[in-house]
């Protein structure tokens, strides 16, 4: 009976880790393609440094400085990109998980949103045309996606 209980707990923990990771867009193993998520809030996104790495919810974040790493650790939820770093416009439009250009972002309601951009397709511009409605839809769609 003890063995069954232990196996159940281990399976649950492994499942939780997998579920958490799938909710994040990871590029080379890092959220936001290795950009320093704290640096976005000063409107100067910087690539993180391998010397400054933190883990939160089983995923890794890079930082450009020890100071930003400490800031993140003091309040990670403030800095984590909305919708796990997936394209906010696509989440709002139909709930689909679309990759992003980490330099294409917006701070809205004091939260970090990332967007897809390639050639002439800039979803940040599409988002801005109807931000309030897309934000509301994205919140609902993201809750459905996380289940």
Q: Does residue 41 sit in the same domain as residue 100?
A: no
Q: What is the pTM of this model?
A: 0.85
Domain end point (choices 61, 79, 97):
79
Q: Does residue 74 sit in the same domain as residue 90?
A: no
Q: Does residue 37 sit in the same domain as residue 89?
A: no
Q: Does residue 98 sit in the same domain as residue 143?
A: yes
The pLDDT score that the predictor gives to residue 147 is 62
The pLDDT score that the predictor gives to residue 65 is 99
Neighbouring CB atoms inside 10 A of 58's CB total 12
CA distance 90 to 134: 9
Q: Does residue 68 sit in the same domain as residue 121?
A: no
Domain-located, residue 44: yes
Q: Does residue 95 sit in the same domain as residue 69?
A: no
Domain-located, residue 6: no
The pLDDT score that the predictor gives to residue 108 is 96
Domain-located, residue 95: yes
The pLDDT score that the predictor gives to residue 4 is 41
Q: Does residue 70 sit in the same domain as residue 86?
A: no
Q: Does residue 72 sit in the same domain as residue 88?
A: no
CA distance 62 to 81: 13
Domain region containing 52: 24-79
Q: Does residue 64 sit in the same domain as residue 104?
A: no
- Domains held by the chain: number: 2
Contact by Cβ (8 Å): 62, 52: yes
Give the residue among 49, 52, 53, 59 at the shortest CA–CA distance from 81: 59
Q: Does residue 42 sit in the same domain as residue 95?
A: no
Q: Does residue 45 sit in the same domain as residue 69?
A: yes
Q: Does residue 85 sit in the same domain as residue 34?
A: no
Q: What is the mean pLDDT of each run of 10 residues along the chain (147 residues)?
A: 42 38 88 99 98 97 99 98 98 97 98 97 98 98 85
The pLDDT score that the predictor gives to residue 21 is 56
């Amino acid at each position: 009976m003890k063995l069954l209980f232990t196996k159940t707990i281990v399976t649950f923990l492994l499942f939780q880790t997998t579920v958490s990771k799938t909710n994040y867009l990871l590029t080379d193993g890092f959220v936001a393609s290795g950009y320093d998520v704290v640096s976005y809030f000063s409107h100067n996104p910087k690539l993180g440094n391998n010397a400054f790495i933190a883990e939160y919810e089983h995923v890794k974040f890079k930082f450009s400085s020890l100071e930003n790493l400490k800031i993140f650790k003091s309040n990670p939820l403030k800095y984590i990109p909305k919708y796990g770093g997936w394209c906010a416009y696509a989440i709002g439009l139909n709930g689909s998980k679309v990759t992003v250009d980490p330099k294409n972002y917006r701070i809205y309601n004091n939260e970090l949103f990332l967007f897809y951009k390639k050639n002439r397709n800039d979803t940040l511009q599409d988002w801005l045309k109807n931000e309030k409605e897309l934000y509301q839809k994205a919140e609902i769609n993201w809750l459905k996606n996380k289940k």
